[in-house]
Amino acid sequence: MLPFNASSFTSQKLPKILDRWKDFPPPFLLDQQHSFYLQQSDYHLMKTPRTMQQVHQSPNLSNPFENLTEEIIFNVLDFLDEDPQAKKSFSLVNKSFYSIESIHRRSLRPLRTNLIPSTLRRYPHLSHLDFTCCPRVEDDTLFAIADVYKTSLRAIDLSRSRFFSNVGLSSLAGKCTGLLEMDLSNATELTDLAAAAIAEAKNLEKLSLARCKLISDIGIGCIAVGCKKLKWVCLKWCLRVSDFGVGLIAMKCRDIRSLDLSYLPITEKCLPPILQLQQLKELILVGCSGVDDEGLVTLNQGYKPLEMLNMSIIQNVSHIGLYSLTNGMKHLSHLSLAYGFDVTVDLAKCLRNFPGLQCIKLDGCQVSCAGMKAIADCCVSLKEINLCKCIGVTDEGLSSIMEKHNGLKKLDITCCRKITHASLDIITSSCNSLISLKMESCSLIPEDAFELIGQRCSLLEELDITDNEVNDEGLKAISRCSKLLSLKMGICRKITDGGLSHVGIYCPKLTQLDLYRCTAVTDVGIMAVANGCLGLEMINMAYCEKVTDSSLRCLSKCLRLTALEIRGCTRLSSGGLSAIAEGCRKLTLLDIKKCCNIDDAGMLALAQCSQSLQQINISYCSVTDIGLMALASINHLHSMTILHVTGLTASGLGAALLACQGLRKVKLHSTFKASMPQALLNHVEARGCIFHWRNKAFQQVDIDPKGWQL
C-alpha cells in the first residue's frame, strides 16, 4: 500500500510525491487508514473538498481519484513523460485517467505496426511518432498516419524501419503540413523518387538521410527546391551525392544551421556556398577524402559564423588547408581534427584565430611536445581536450597544457602510454574543476598516483581508469569524489571488496559501474555498491567469477537498473536472475553469455517480469526450447545472440523466431541455417529481421582480446 497523506499535499510537493508513485504498479489505491483531505488552495486538486470519510460515504463516488481535475492530472502526466511504463500504469487507474491520458499524449513509440489502427483511435493529438521498434513499416501505415495527423504531426522517426516507399512518404509529406522533422537514416532502398516525395514537406526543418546510398544529386536537388526552411541536414554516407547536390542545398536552404557531409565524395568546390550560410553553426566533414590543401587554399576569406567544425579522418589536409578554411571563424568553439592531422607548432598557430575555442579533439593524431606547448600558448579558454590514442603525448607536453588551462572540465588521455606519475600530479593539482577524466590503459602511472584523483578532484562525475594499476588505497581515495555518476575500472585486478565497499558508501549518486574482469571482487563488494548506490542504471560484472546469486539478489533493489552484463560469471544461476527480473523491471539489456547454470527457470522469470527487455545474449547457457519460447513473449525484445546453446533444437528455434514479432537482429550459429526451412527464414526477414550467421567454434576456455586465459 502506498502511504499518501493528502492533507499535506501542495503543488510544490508534486514532483517528490510523483517520484515515489513511479515505483509502484497500478492502481494507486487508498484505504481507511490514509487521510485524503485536500484544501481548495492546494492546486485545486479536487473539484469539491471532502474528507476521506465523506468520500467513502458518497454513493456516487467509487474511486476518489475520479474527482481530480484535468489540470492536476496533466501535471502528473507531464512529470511522467520520461517513463513510458509509469505513464501507462497511471492511465490504468480508472476510466477517467485513461481518457485524459489519451488526450494528453503527444509522443508515441509503437512496438508493432499492427497496433497502429487502435493507436490512431486512442491518441488523436500525437505530434511525435518514433518507429524505431518497428523494423517493418509499410506504405499503408504511412497512409493512415497522414490521414489522421494532418495538422498535429511534427516529427517522425523511421531510422530503424524498412519496406516503405516514395508512395507512402509522398502521402505523409503532402498531407502533414506541420511536419518539421523526418529521420530516414538507414533507408538504403530509397531512391530519388523518395527524395522528390520528401520535397513536398514544405515546412520541414530537420532531415536525416544518413546511409541512403541510392539518393543522388537529383533527389537532393528536389529537396533543396521544395524544403527551403531546412535548418538541420544529415547526408552522411550518401555516396551518390556530390559537390553539385551539396551546393544546391547550400544555395537554396539559406537557414541551415547544422550540416553533416561525412564520407561524401565531395571536394572543396561545394564549400564556398556552404561558408556563405549566415546561420550555419555546425559543419561535419568527417572522412571527406576529396578535400585537400590544394583546394582549400583557393577559398575566399571572409566572416564565417561557424561554432563547431569536425574534420576528423581527412588525410590530405594539413595546417595549411585548415588555416584557409577557418580564417574568419571568430566564433569557433568546438574543433575536431581526430585521426588525420599532425599536431605541430604550425597547427597550433592556426588556433590563434579562435579566441573562444573551448573544445579540441585530437584523438589518434601524431603529437609532438613542441606542438602541445604551442597549443597551450595559443588557446586561452579550453574546457575540453581529447588526446585519446595520440602517439607522442609525454609528461612534458601534457603538463604544459595543464598548467595554462586550469579551468579544464573534461580530459581524455586514453592509451597515452608514455605519461607517468608526473602527468597525473600536474593534472590533479592544476585542473581540480575536472568533471570528466578518461585515462584507460595509461600503463606507466603507478598505483599510488591514483590517490591524487580523490584528494584533489572532488567534482568528478565521470572517471575511466580501465586497465590501470589502481589498488584499494587508490579506490578508497577516489571514493571521496561523492558526485561520481560513472566509474569504469575494468581489468583492474588489484581492486578487491575493500576498495569497492568505499565506493558503495561514499558515491551514492553512481549510475554506471564497470568491473569487467575485476577478478578479485566478490559478493561483499557488489552488495556494498547495491546497498549504497540505489540509483544504479548499469553494471558490468563480466568474468567476475567469484560473485554468486547473493550479488544479484542485492542488486535487485536497484529499481532503475537497465543494463546488466554478467557473462562468464559461472557461479550465477537462475535463482539470482529471477530476483533481478522481479526487482529490476526497467531492465533493457542483459548479457548472460557463459553463465552455464542459468536455464529455463531464469528465462521464465524474465518473460514474466522483464517486459522492457530489448537485448539479450544467452550464448553457452543451459537454455532449451521452453526457455527460448518464454523469451519470445517479451514484446520489446528486438535483439538476440544465441551461439552454442546445446539445449535448442531447430524446430524450437524456429517457433521462437515466429513468435517474437519485434525482432530486428539475431545472431545464430551457421549450423542452424541448413537445418531450418528457408521459407521460415524468409518470413522472419520479411518482417524486418536481419540474421547474422556465425561459424565460431565452441570455446572451453575463454580468451580475452588481450590474450589472457580465464
Instruction: Classify domain 105-256 at the CATH superfamily level.
Output: Ribonuclease Inhibitor (3.80.10.10)
Say if residues 393 and 417 touch (Cβ distance below 8 Å): no
φ, ψ of residue 295 to 5 degrees: the values are -80, -35
Helices (H), 317-368: 319-326, 345-350
| Nearest partner of 492 among 522, 472, 462, judged by Cα | 472
pLDDT in tens, 332-349: 999 999 999 999 999 999
Say if residues 431 and 405 touch (Cβ distance below 8 Å): yes
Cα separation, 227 vs 144, in Å, equals 23
**Least confident interval from 62-71, 544-553, 562-571, 649-658:** 62-71
DSSP reduced 3-state for 366: strand
Query: Looking at the DSSP assignment, which residues form a beta bridge with residue 343?
Result: 367
pLDDT for res 376 = 92
Nine cell digits for residue 364: 589518434
Task: State the average pLDDT over residues 234-247.
Answer: 98
pLDDT for res 551 = 98
Cα separation, 707 vs 236, in Å, equals 36
Residues 6 or more apart in contact with residue 486 via CB below 8 angstroms: 461, 462, 463, 464, 510, 511, 512, 513
Residue spans per domain, the chain: 70-103, 105-256
Q: How distant, in Å, are the alpha carbons of 26, 471, 485, 586 from that of 91?
A: 9, 50, 32, 18
| DSSP label at residue 698 | P
Q: Which position has the grid cell 609532438?
A: 368
Say if residues 581 and 608 touch (Cβ distance below 8 Å): yes
pLDDT for res 699 = 76
Q: How distant, in Å, are the alpha carbons of 462, 464, 481, 618, 621 from that of 484?
A: 6, 11, 6, 32, 34
CA atoms within 13 A on the CB side of 688: 27
Chain CA centroid to CA 374, Å: 36
Q: What is the mean pLDDT of the chain?
A: 89
pLDDT for res 627 = 98
Cα separation, 61 vs 70, in Å, equals 17
pLDDT in tens, 292-333: 999 998 886 666 789 999 999 999 999 999 999 998 898 999
pLDDT in tens, 117-132: 888 889 999 999 999 9
pLDDT for res 702 = 58
Residue % of the chain over a pLDDT of 70: 89
Instruction: Name residue 86's amino acid.
Output: A
pLDDT for res 95 = 82
Nine cell digits for residue 611: 517486459
DSSP 307-375: -EEE-TT-TT--HHHHHHHHTT-TT--EEE-TTT-EE-HHHHHHGGG-TT--EEE-TT-EE-HHHHHHH
Nine cell digits for residue 284: 561535419
Confidence of residue 655 (pLDDT cuts 50, 70, 90): very high
| Nearest partner of 116 among 140, 95, 100, judged by Cα | 140
Say if residues 510 and 540 touch (Cβ distance below 8 Å): no
Say if residues 409 and 385 touch (Cβ distance below 8 Å): no
**Res. 23: pLDDT tops 50:** no
**Over the range 402-425, which residues count as b (16 or more CB within 10 Å of their CB) and which as e?**
bebbeebbbbbbbbbebbebebbb
DSSP 627-671: HHHHHTT-TT--EEEE-S-TT--HHHHHHHHHH-TT--EEEEETH
pLDDT in tens, 539-554: 999 999 999 999 999 9
pLDDT for res 40 = 33
Nine cell digits for residue 595: 553463465
pLDDT for res 63 = 61
pLDDT for res 488 = 98
pLDDT in tens, 162-190: 999 999 999 999 999 999 999 999 999 99
**Res. 61: pLDDT tops 90:** no
Instruction: Name residue 26's amino acid.
Output: P
Query: Looking at the DSSP assignment, which residues form a beta bridge with residue 334?
Result: 308, 359
Task: State the average pLDDT over residues 679-699.
Answer: 93
